[in-house]
Amino acid sequence: MKIIIATILPLSLFAASFNAPMQKYIDELKVQAKNSDSSFVDFSVKRGEKIFTSVHVGKRGKKISCASCHSLNLKANGKNIHTNKVLKPLAPSVNSARLTVVKDTKKWLRRNFKDVYVRAGTAKEKGDVLYFINSK
């Protein structure tokens, strides 16, 4: 028993891991990313950070970034700039419900990429930004 605990515990300390359904979604995104670019290897936290923080002329014709609603500090509350509603932190380290339900993640990525980029995110962009959020 002790041996089992000793081997399982360190694995659970990897903050950047996803639950099984989310990992399956990440793997699907990897296949899609590889299909559109054969040199693709893996998603990148660094590219994801740029996707999250860079400012674009959004759907409503105004400058906006993902951080406009979710805050540059992902461990803090955000505020939906369109409705003024408080958003709970995106960082899974402080909000364990984040990035756990594939359906919700897909739905909000679809909406939120439209808000900021006025188009759907590519598989590579979605994977990158999910790695970034999950690193927080």
Min dist. Cβ of residue 7 to ligand HEC (A): 29
Contact 108, 96 (CB under 8 A): no
Min dist. Cβ of residue 5 to ligand HEC (A): 29
The interface region with ligand HEC, picked from 4-12, 26-34, 37-45, 81-89 by CB under 6 A, is 81-89
Q: How many residues of this chain bind ligand HEC (CB under 6 A)?
A: 23
Residue 46, Cβ density class (10 Å: 0-12 exposed, 13-18 middle, ≥19 buried): exposed
91 makes contact with ligand HEC (CB under 6 A): no
Listed residue (27, 10, 15, 21) closest to 92, CA to CA: 15
CA 23 to mean position of chain CA atoms: 12
115 makes contact with ligand HEC (CB under 6 A): yes
Residue 32, Cβ density class (10 Å: 0-12 exposed, 13-18 middle, ≥19 buried): middle
Which residues in this chain contact ligand HEC in the complex, by CB under 6 A? 52, 64, 66, 68-70, 80-82, 87-88, 98-99, 104-105, 108-109, 112-113, 115-116, 129, 133
